[in-house]
Every structure is written in C-alpha cells, then in structure tokens.
Amino acid sequence: MRTGATSARQAARDAARKLQQAGVPEPAPSAEVLLSELLGIGRGEIALYEKPLTEEQARRYEAWISRRLAREPVQRILGYAYFRHLKLDLNENILIPRPDSESVVDLALERVDLRGGSCRVLDVGAGSGAIAVSIAQERPLCDVHATDVSEAVLEIARHNAERNGVTLRFYRADVASGLQFLNGTVDLLVSNPPYVAEFSAERRLAPEVREWDPPSALFSAADGYAFFKRIFAETSSLLADGADVVLEIGDGQAEAVLDLGRRAGFVPLDTRLDLAGTPRAVLLRWER
C-alpha cells in the first residue's frame, strides 16, 4: 500500500487480497466496510472515490487491516455495529449483535402487531440493546423493559437507546430477580440468552467469536441449555395470561428448547429461520 498515493479502490483490493491469503473470512466485505467507514462513504462508492488516501487515512487503514488479519472482528475494530436501523456502540463486555438476531426481532414484532401494536415487552439479557431498542424504535407504542446482569453492559445499552432516540427502561437483574413489580403484566418476553455448550466451544466457534466476544454472553454450561431452563423456571410469574415468549436459539436446539418449555408449562407455537435458513428463534405461549 503506497502511503498517501493509493486510491480507495486499490487500497480495498490490496487489503482484500491480504485477508484472503491469510484465510480471513469474507475478505472483500471486511476490507470494504473498514474503508467505507474510515472515509465516511458507502461501500458502493469506493470504486468512484477519486481522491487518493491521505497519509493518515492510509496509516489508519493499514492498522485496521492488521487487526483484521489477527481475526479481530470488524465491529470490534470500529467500536460499533449496525443492526436493523440502529448504530450500536460496543465495548469488550458486549456481544456483537449479528444479523441472525433480526429473525428474533421480526418474530417479536409480528406478535406485537397481533396485539394491536402496543404491549408490555421484557428483554432478558439485553446486551448492546439491539433487540429491545429495535422493538422500542419500530413499535413506539410498546412499553419496553430490558435487563442485564452487568451494570457495565447496561451503561452501554442505555447509551445506545439514547443515541438512537428511543426511550425504554433498563434494570440490573439476573434473569427475573428483583422484577416482582412486573408480575403478571408482561405480554411479550424476548431473549437472546447464552446458548453455546462449553465443551464444544473450541470446535464450533470461529476465532472472531471465541477470542473477542465475552464468555458470559456465549456459554451456558456443558450442554448449552442452562439459561433456557432458567428463563422457563423463573419468568412465568412475570407473564400475563397468554403472553408470548420469543427466544433466540443455537444450531440444532429448536426441538430441545421447545420441549423444555413444554415441560415447564409453556405451549410451543413456532420456529423461525434466520437469513441462512437455519432455525434461529422459537415462539411459545404462557397460559395460566
């Protein structure tokens, strides 16, 4: 990369080639997203960007590509992620929100619409706020509440709600602890809980996940089902009669999670696929 004289198009091509040679996944998108964010332009504008990179831009881009070569995720390098209509700040305590979780939001919004567009929503384990803030933004008549066990995580989630112009309430809570004031009033419970089995983590997870996402947001005991069991066991007192429960699940977990819910008194209703066609969310109903 010739400092100060390389065009944006050539810089992206050179970077993509380096990433590809190193076996980094999605080399061209990684190179293009990082450069477009650096220049403040869309990915499609890179080929039309006529100004050569300045020395500072070239140095920063080269540093970012070096970090990507070390398998640091693009979102970690930038310090933020895009999700639906949101721009969400991140830190080391926050799980990177991924497109797969959009299927969870889509399913939740469908249930909200069946209730006339207005209901009380509780997001258990809010993380960056991606799910809760999306619901509050896209269905503003909803009364949205969100929890997380970590105050450091909640600080970022509150910030993300504010920066996206959304109002909702956040609480520090471990699943349902301390939420008795919501007893019997929640119409829709949604959660993307930890669901990776610890024993298979080394084999299943890419370095971008294994080395950069917080373990507390990933792992759920040896079998991956501990948090699902807790949600079913601990949240029923919060739910109104006929409440919907929408949960993100890992690969191959749909039937087992629905069965766990059935055993706890919930009624399994549906499974929703993600963009890759993999079951990514389940829907259950609580009936008293």
Helices (H) and strands (E) in the chain, counts: 12, 9
Whole-number Å distance between alpha carbons of 204 and 189:
28
Q: What is the pTM of this model?
A: 0.90
Given a cut of 70, is residue 37 above it in pLDDT? yes
So what's the pLDDT on residue 197?
83
Share of the chain above pLDDT 70, in %: 97
Whole-number Å distance between alpha carbons of 187 and 209:
33
The CA R_g of the chain, rounded to the nearest whole Å, is 21
So what's the pLDDT on residue 26?
95
Sheet containing strand 120-124, edge to edge, reads: 169-172, 143-148, 120-124, 186-191, 239-248, 279-286, 266-273
Long-range contacts of 109-113 (CB under 8 A, 24+ apart): 109/135, 109/138, 109/139, 111/188, 111/244, 111/246, 111/283, 112/139, 112/142, 112/188, 113/139
**Which pairing describes strands 239-248 and 279-286: parallel, antiparallel, or unpaired?**
antiparallel
So what's the pLDDT on residue 201?
56
User: Given pLDDT bands bounded at 50, 70 and 90, which one contains residue 1?
Assistant: very low
Residue-wise pLDDT for 128-156, tens only, equals 999 999 999 999 999 999 999 999 999 99
What is the pLDDT of the chain when averaged over all its residues?
93
Whole-number Å distance between alpha carbons of 186 and 288:
13
More confident residue, 104 or 222: 104
Whole-number Å distance between alpha carbons of 12 and 35:
7
Domains identified in the chain and CATH numbers: 8-70 (1.10.8.10), 92-286 (3.40.50.150)
So what's the pLDDT on residue 5?
65
When pLDDT is averaged across residues 262-288 and rounded to a whole number, the result is 94
Residue-wise pLDDT for 175-203, tens only, equals 999 999 999 999 999 999 998 887 665 55
> 42: burial class by Cβ within 10 Å (0-12, 13-18, 19+)?
exposed
Count the neighbouring beta carbons within 10 Å of the beta carbon of residue 10.
15
